[in-house]
């Protein structure tokens, strides 16, 4: 087995997180796997983020900083695409500018590639920290997600499971082959579901690998982007949001859910109301309620 030691690119979209970006960068500097580059693209920050990032660029040449022309704000999709275009590694890891990764994050994923040449996507378990009230709201999702993921042998096809449940919680847990990323459609009809929209495209054609270790620290706070727009956690939830906005979600190559009137009827009942007596839970329009 040839050990993977190629350059890994880390892409971070930065926007008004001067209070957190230091911790994010420090977690990259602490990596046991040293062959990395950190591509930070600022999306028109109005705080002191740019100065903070520039200080780190002067300390380590592996940290590279970019902005949009005229320091414009272009949104997450365009910012990530710009970062991917600027990256040089075969694999691109994403790290949000308010999250951190453990010191062995890259090393663990490099080991997976060594044993699974050309694997399309690798993701890992997550540790939620920060705003306790928000963390508690993720309890059911985290537990159910872990149950599903641990039932698989990896590399695995998770298309069926992703069709009804978003198993890949945050950008900060994902590393993907660059050639695959370059072919994806980043024009998600719902901004808050960009990650889910991308990963559904990947799993439609590729097997993925899950590491059952908490290598990502996913920060929960009142200013999180997900507070601004509700983030769908299942395909049914996502499709419902699209119907409300009169969108058609998936062209080829992702299958449409509405194949005929019978399928529509089953689908509509599922997203409107679902009862889980053993778990003492009711789902109404994609939202869960415990009783």
31-65 pLDDT, tens digit per residue, is 999 999 999 999 999 999 999 999 999 999 999 99
Bridge partners of 36, per DSSP, are 8
What values do phi and psi take at 174, rounded to 5?
-120, 140
Q: What is the dihedral of CA 126, 98, 35, 156, to 10 degrees?
A: 30
Q: Is 83 exposed, middle or buried (0-12, 13-18, 19+ CB in 10 A)?
A: buried
CA 220 to CA 157: how far, in whole Å?
Answer: 29
**Confidence at residue 234, expressed as pLDDT on a 0 to 100 scale:** 57
Q: Under CATH, which number does the domain 8-228 receive?
A: 3.90.550.10
**Confidence at residue 282, expressed as pLDDT on a 0 to 100 scale:** 63
Contacts of 226 (CB under 8 A, 6+ apart): 192
Contacts of 149 (CB under 8 A, 6+ apart): 125, 167, 210, 212
**Confidence at residue 251, expressed as pLDDT on a 0 to 100 scale:** 40
Residue with tokens 């009142």: 222
In 3D space, the residue among 146, 122, 91 whose CA is nearest the CA of residue 210 turns out to be: 122
Enclosing H/E stretch for 235: helix 235-244
Structure tokens that stand for 5 in this block: 């030691």
Average pLDDT per block of 10 residues along the chain, 291 residues long: 94 95 98 98 96 97 97 95 98 97 98 97 95 82 90 95 85 98 91 88 96 96 52 55 42 37 39 56 58 58
CA 250 to CA 239: how far, in whole Å?
Answer: 10
Each domain of the chain, given as residue ranges in start order, spans: 8-228
No. of helices (H) and no. of strands (E), the chain? 12, 11
Distance of CA 171 to the CA centre of its chain: 2
**Confidence at residue 65, expressed as pLDDT on a 0 to 100 scale:** 98
């Amino acid at each position: 087995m040839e050990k993977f030691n190629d350059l890994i690119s880390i892409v971070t979209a930065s926007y008004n997180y001067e209070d957190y970006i230091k911790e994010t960068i420090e977690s990259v500097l602490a990596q046991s796997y040293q062959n990395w580059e950190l591509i930070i693209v600022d999306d028109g920050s109005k705080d002191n983020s740019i100065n903070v990032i520039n200080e780190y660029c002067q300390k380590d040449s592996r940290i590279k900083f970019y902005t949009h022309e005229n320091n414009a704000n272009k949104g997450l999709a365009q910012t990530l695409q710009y970062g991917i275009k600027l990256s040089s590694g075969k694999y691109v890891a994403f790290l949000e500018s308010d999250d951190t990764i453990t010191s062995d994050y890259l090393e663990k994923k490099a080991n997976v590639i060594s044993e699974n040449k050309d694997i399309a996507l690798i993701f890992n378990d997550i540790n939620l920290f920060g705003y306790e009230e928000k963390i508690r709201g993720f309890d059911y999702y985290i537990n159910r997600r872990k149950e599903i993921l641990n039932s698989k042998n990896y590399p695995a096809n998770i298309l069926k499971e992703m069709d009804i449940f978003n198993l890949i919680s945050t950008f900060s847990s994902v590393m993907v082959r660059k050639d695959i990323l370059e072919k994806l459609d980043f024009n998600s009809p719902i901004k808050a579901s960009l990650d889910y929209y991308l990963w559904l495209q990947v799993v439609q054609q590729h097997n993925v690998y899950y590491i059952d270790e908490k290598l990502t620290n996913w920060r929960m706070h009142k200013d999180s982007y997900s507070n601004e727009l509700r983030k769908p956690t299942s395909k049914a939830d996502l499709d419902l949001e699209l119907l409300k906005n009169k969108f058609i979600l998936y062209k080829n190559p992702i299958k449409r859910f509405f194949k005929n009137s019978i399928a529509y009827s089953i689908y509509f009942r599922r997203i409107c109301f679902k009862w889980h007596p053993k778990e003492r839970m009711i789902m109404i329009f994609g939202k869960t309620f415990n009783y």
